[in-house]
Structure 1
């Protein structure tokens, strides 16, 4: 297993993360607009990309494990950092490092974007809850129960002296 196949896997992960970042930015705009229908379609696209991301990540892990086995390293701690330490070809080392840094930066941007989406959704949920609270009648306004402070007297409507 060559380092080139690991680099290719990381490039694939970068592409998937770029697409996820675009979807996440689209999701932000949809949440701001308050369109539930569009949000559902965006979430479907996002789910498909997450499934693809899982497949690509599994492929990367397998390739890294194979590289460690092929080069006689223990497979307990298989990290890109360990590969970078053991590489002698400077070109491959630099390329692997650059793509790994690019992937890490994309993951950080995606995490920040998703945190923004979470905050926007929580804010929307709070707004909905406040709106529902304002629209629903409170128990004090209901006509059921004993009214202690009635202003009318206990006199009958008819004069019983007649």
Structure 2
């Protein structure tokens, strides 16, 4: 198993994460505009990207494991960091470090964007709840006089006997 296969897998992961970041930014625009029609296809597209990401990550894990076996390195911690420590070729080590750094930046940017989307959705839900609360005032607010525990508490907001 060559190092180039692992680097190509990492490049695919960077590409997929950058694509997910683009989708996430489009989701932010849709959320801000309140456009649910545009949001639904973006969620479908995002789900497909996540599935592809999982497949590439599974292949990458297998490639790393194979690399350790082929090079006769016995390590319980079969990670890219361990590979970087074991590589002797400075050029390969630098290539692997660079692509790993790119992947880290992509994941960090995606996480930040998704946290923004989550915050925007929570604020939207709070606004909807507030609006609903304002439309359904409590029965105590409707009665200005003394508090009688008769039929007035069972009455709906809109009096149907009008």
Fold shared per TM-score above 0.5: yes
The within-5 A match list for 1:141-156 is 141=142, 146=150
Q: How does 1:107-126 map to 2 (within 5 A)?
A: 107-126=107-126
What is residue 3 of structure 1 aligned with on the other side?
Answer: 3
TM (norm. structure 2) is 0.85
Computing the radius of gyration from Cα coordinates, the structure with the larger value is: 1
Once the two structures are superposed, the pairs formed by residues 84-103 of structure 1 within 5 Å of their partners are 84-103=84-103
Gaps of 5+ in 1: 149-162
TM-score normalized with structure 1 length: 0.85
Asked whether the equivalents of residues 65 and 75 of structure 1 are also in contact (C-alpha less than 8 Å), the reply is no
Aligned pairs, number: 147
RMSD over equivalenced CA pairs, Å? 1.8
Partner residue, 1:43:
43
Distance 1:125 1:75 in 2: 48
In the TM superposition, what is the alpha-carbon distance from 1:84 to its structure 2 partner?
Answer: 0.8
- The residue that corresponds to 1:18 in the other structure is 18
Structure 2: 5+ residue stretches without partners: 153-162
Residue matched to 1:76: 76
